[in-house]
């Protein structure tokens, strides 16, 4: 019996496509490659998500490493935040679930500044019953700790919870901990699978 539904944010509720993000920021192929490799795929970005570094700290580090001026890096980070647009179909699904007797939670790897921006911008986030943001917790998926913390904080039983995430590693860990899981992608089949499990027929 599913009582709780837990959503990831990036690539589930909000668009998150690193290649698209860099391609829409610059037409320069060398700059695209640098931003992808040395910013979005760099361990400093993970530190940002984990909350062990702040945006103000990573900008000069990214700038020094890439030789891209810090103002340009700052513009890129603003661009990233603007790229986090809602995935309309997931929002519709979420709104349908608010009419059902489920408790709704989020579990996302994201720096707290990004989360706060999204929270201010998107009214629907306030309809969640709660959730954890890695940048505020200093732990992140796929570490077991963040899943256990979610359960402890909101008294959730994994067997009564459905976890929806696009990342296979996160899904594997959640499954191993006893959660029901759906690995998300933006296909009709995936939405139908979720609806079949959660919405009355």
CA distances from 15 to 40, 91, 120, 142 (A): 15, 12, 17, 20
Residues of the chain where predicted confidence (pLDDT) is lower than 70: none
* Per-residue pLDDT tens over the stretch 71-84: 999 999 999 999 99
* Per-residue pLDDT tens over the stretch 25-72: 999 999 999 999 999 999 999 999 999 999 999 999 999 999 999 999
Strand partners, 86: 14
User: What pLDDT score was predicted for residue 201?
Assistant: 79
Show me where the domains of the chain are located. 4-15+86-198, 18-83
Predicted model pTM:
0.96
Q: Does domain 4-15+86-198 have CATH number 3.40.50.1000?
A: yes
User: What pLDDT score was predicted for residue 199?
Assistant: 95
């Amino acid at each position: 019996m599913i009582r709780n539904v837990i959503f990831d944010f990036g690539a589930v509720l909000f668009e998150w496509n690193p290649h698209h993000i860099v391609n829409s920021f610059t037409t320069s192929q060398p700059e695209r490659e640098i931003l992808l490799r040395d910013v979005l795929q760099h361990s400093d970005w993970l530190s940002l998500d984990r909350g062990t570094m702040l945006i103000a700290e990573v900008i000069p580090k990214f700038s020094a490493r890439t030789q891209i001026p810090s103002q340009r890096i700052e513009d890129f980070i603003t661009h990233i935040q603007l790229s986090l647009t809602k995935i309309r179909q997931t929002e519709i699904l979420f709104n349908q679930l608010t009419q059902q007797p489920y408790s709704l939670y989020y579990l996302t790897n994201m720096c707290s500044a990004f989360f706060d921006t999204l929270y201010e911008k998107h009214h629907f986030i306030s309809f969640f019953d709660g959730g954890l943001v890695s940048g505020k917790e200093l732990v992140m998926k796929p570490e077991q700790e963040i899943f256990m913390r979610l359960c402890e904080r909101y008294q959730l039983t994994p067997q009564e919870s459905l976890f929806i995430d696009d990342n296979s590693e996160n899904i594997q860990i959640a499954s191993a901990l006893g959660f029901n899981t759906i690995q998300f992608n933006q296909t009709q089949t995936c939405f139908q699978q979720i609806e079949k499990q959660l919405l009355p027929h």
